[in-house]
Amino acid sequence: MRVAVIQQANSDDLAANMARSEALVRDAAAQGAELVMLQELHRSLYFCQREDTHCFDLAETIPGPSTERLGALARELGIVLVGSLFEKRATGLYHNTAVVMERDGSLAGTYRKMHIPDDPGFYEKFYFTPGDADFNDGRSGFSPIQTSVGKLGLLICWDQWYPEAARLMALAGAEILLYPTAIGWDLNDDDAEKERQRDAWITVQRAHAIANGVPVIVANRTGYEAAPDGSDDGVQFWGNSFIAGPQGEFLAHADADSELALVADIDMKRSEAVRRIWPYLRDRRVDAYGDLLKRYRD
């Protein structure tokens, strides 16, 4: 199956951002991609650099304008399209939510970000409520979304550091792990620290592919987004979107600065072959993992 991730820079012009996203999605589809994923919060600047109640005006309902537009695009191109939205679930209740649009334009499912960071320049706890641990129908918050191209294990940005999230998706039958992302450097860090952070981010996600025997696709934004206070801080998003196979091997890897549709072919049969020689799921000691349910083992 041919897949694509979209890497782009954003501005404060919402219409221009969406137009650019659409153009890159069309490029991916023209190259034969059946599954295309956009980066985290692709509609706007990364507003979480500050705590500002006016930013809640960016939120929208699901279904709503963005799902209608993304659904129409998916239907026109005959692809499965993954978007990322600032969701208004109810008055005063908001989520960072991934949406999956089917080939016919319908909404196949949603995933609400489970791990919410709160760090300088990434004040997401001010805006986002974590996804529910359990849905009303009994499904876990870490539940794959069934689509015409397979079961998609959607996780979002900060979720990507947690092996538990990837494993739970794999245990629920996810055939691919997908990470829409907005991550970059604090410009006050030196070059060595920047390199360590970027390499850690790439390594941990490739490790999720290896530990679970499934492909991983990652879409990160690129470009510099200034601090809202006008200082020289801000975030330099590091791009480096990539697509990896079930042994963590790179199938495609973007640079730091380019806006592009990154395309690669995934052999969906390789997961079966890899899990036969590395049967991690078989050898898990589920009887000995009780302490994982504790915050810390004293």
Distances in whole angstroms, Cα of residue 278 to Cα of each of 211, 270, 283: 9, 12, 9
In a domain, residue 298? The reply is: no
Q: Does residue 176 contact residue 266 with C-beta atoms inside 8 Å?
A: yes
| β-pair type (2-7, 118-119) | unpaired
Q: pLDDT tens across 71-128, in order?
A: 999 999 999 999 999 999 999 999 999 999 999 999 999 999 999 999 888 999 999 9
Tally of domains within the chain: 1
More confident residue, 68 or 232: 68
In a domain, residue 234? The reply is: yes
In a domain, residue 110? The reply is: yes
pTM of the model: 0.96
Structure confidence at residue 140 (pLDDT): 83
The catalytic site residues sit at 40, 113, 157
In a domain, residue 200? The reply is: yes
Q: pLDDT tens across 172-214, in order?
A: 999 999 999 999 998 889 999 999 999 999 999 999 999 999 9
Please give the residue range of the domain that contains residue 81. Answer: 2-293
Backbone phi and psi for residue 90, each to the nearest 5 degrees, phi listed first: -160, 170
CATH (domain of 156): 3.60.110.10
Q: Lowest-pLDDT range, 180-184, 185-189, 263-267, 285-289?
A: 185-189
